[in-house]
Structure formats: structure tokens, C-alpha cells
Amino acid sequence: VDFLQRVEKRSNQPARSSRSLLKQYQKLMWALYAATPSYEEKLRLAMRHLAVFREAGKAGLVSDYDVSEVNLSASWYALFAGEYAEAERLSLAGKARTPGYLPLDTNLAHAMALQGKNRAAMQLYMSHYGVTVEHSQNDRDVWESVVLRDFNDLEAAGITVPLFDDIRQFFALQESD
């Protein structure tokens, strides 16, 4: 916690040591996410992480992509915490920074589906069929594989809606063509 407070205080100081400290902070946050069993607590941590990275972004210490990556994590944890409107808001905020970062669209579509915004969710799920999604430099997959993997993760946590099955059927039909 003391380390987090030091990073938060220095995130507005545009200095080389601040960038180094932010990289350490990022590594620490990913470790904390992995060690935290509660999605509510992961969401709380992610919101703190996001606040630090937004300020660091304003100071030019991190890129828009770095901030959007934290938006992605926060929106993912919001889905599992049952905070679907918050997941949508976080996804849209990330998309405002990096419109072409497709992983945000997966969480956005899930959030809309889970709020019953079926038409908008369906449109989004269908619009990226066959597109390659880059999560990082070494992590790429086809849109529908990412979406189906997310469905499995959400359903394993007891989170589902009938639209998930409709999307599975749509993807299966596309593959058979």
C-alpha cells in the first residue's frame, strides 16, 4: 500500500523515475489482480489503477493504449461483479481513447447483452466476425474465439443470458458457410 501511495503521488511528475515507478506499479497491480479472489475487490483495485494511469496519461507518462488496457481489465472485473452498466461505461471510456482496440468491444458487447440491450450487443458481436483481435504484441486470436472463450468464463461464474446461445449459433452458421 505504501508503494501504491508513492506511485500515486508521483504519477503527475513527468520524470524518468516516474515512468520506471509506473512500470513497477503496473506489474504490482497485475500480481494483485491474480492474487485477489473477489471480483468486487478486483474491480476496486482496477478503479484505483485506472485513476493513477489516467493522471499519468495526462502527464504523458503512459500511452492511451496503456490506459485503455486498464479500462479493459476494470470492465472485465465489473462484468463478474455484476456491475454491467459500469462495465459498459468503462468499455466506452477506453474506446474513446483507443477506438480500434477491439478487446474493449468484447466487454462492451457482453455488458450490453447482460443489460438486455440485445440489438446493440448482437450488432457488435456480429460486426467483428472473422477479425483478428490483438490483446498484446504476442497474443492474437479471431474475434469469435475470444467471444466464445469469454462466454465460457462468464457462464462458469453463473453469468449468462439467452443471447449468448444466439451468438454461438450465429458463429456456427458463419463457419458452415
Say what percent of the chain tops pLDDT 90: 72
| Beta carbons within 10 angstroms of residue 14's beta carbon | 13
CA distance 54 to 67: 6
Whether the predicted pLDDT of 119 surpasses 90:
yes
Quick one: pLDDT band at residue 126, thresholds 50, 70, 90?
Answer: very high
Q: Which residues contact 173 (CB under 8 A, 6 or more apart)?
A: none
Q: What is the pLDDT of residues 130-163, one digit of tens each?
A: 999 987 556 788 999 999 999 999 999 999 999 9
Residues 60-78 have pLDDT tens digits of 888 999 999 999 999 999 9
Longest dimension (CA), the chain: 57
Which cell goes with 171? 458463429
Length of the chain counted residue by residue: 177
Whether 129 contacts 144, CB under 8 Å: yes
Which pLDDT band holds residue 7 (cuts at 50, 70, 90)?
low
pLDDT at 3 over 90: no
Give per-residue pLDDT as tens, 23-51.
888 899 999 999 999 999 999 999 999 99
The count of other CB atoms within 10 Å of the CB of residue 132 is: 12
